[in-house]
Amino acid sequence: MAQKSNRFKPTFRSKAEKEIFNILKDYTCPLAQMYDNYPYSEFTATTNEKLRADIYIKTFSFVIEYDGEFHYNPINFGTGDVDKVKANDIYEEVKKHDKLKERLCNDAEIKMIRISCFEWKKLKTLDEKIHYLYEKVYE
């Protein structure tokens, strides 16, 4: 059984995920039962423990996935041809996992909200971010 993370001590992988979680917790869904980095195996029909939701809001039965740049393009952090091949392999794996997560959520009738890093970075103020998340959650 997966460990439920403490709602007030999240274990995020990115600054944006932490920011989104905190805005949801403080402004958009303050009373919701929320988890970060939560295994899909806990709420969908998969046994793959590596598939994890960036944010799972159990109260409203939805998932938020923050899509960083590597969800849209291969990101090469090195300079050699091997690094380019590895970047392409990682990108293909990310695309495969994204499709699987969408199917699992759809099958389990769980709403999936995808947040593009490109859209998120355009939001400059806290009010813009609150409004953006409110629209995504309650649309």
- Dist CA 75 CA 65 (whole Å): 19
How confident is the model over 38-87, as pLDDT tens digits?
889 888 888 888 888 999 998 889 999 999 988 998 887 666 666 778 88
Residue ranges of domains in the chain = 15-138
User: What is the structure's pLDDT at 80?
Assistant: 66
Please check whether the domain covering 15-138 is classified as CATH 3.20.20.105. no
- Dist CA 70 CA 93 (whole Å): 10
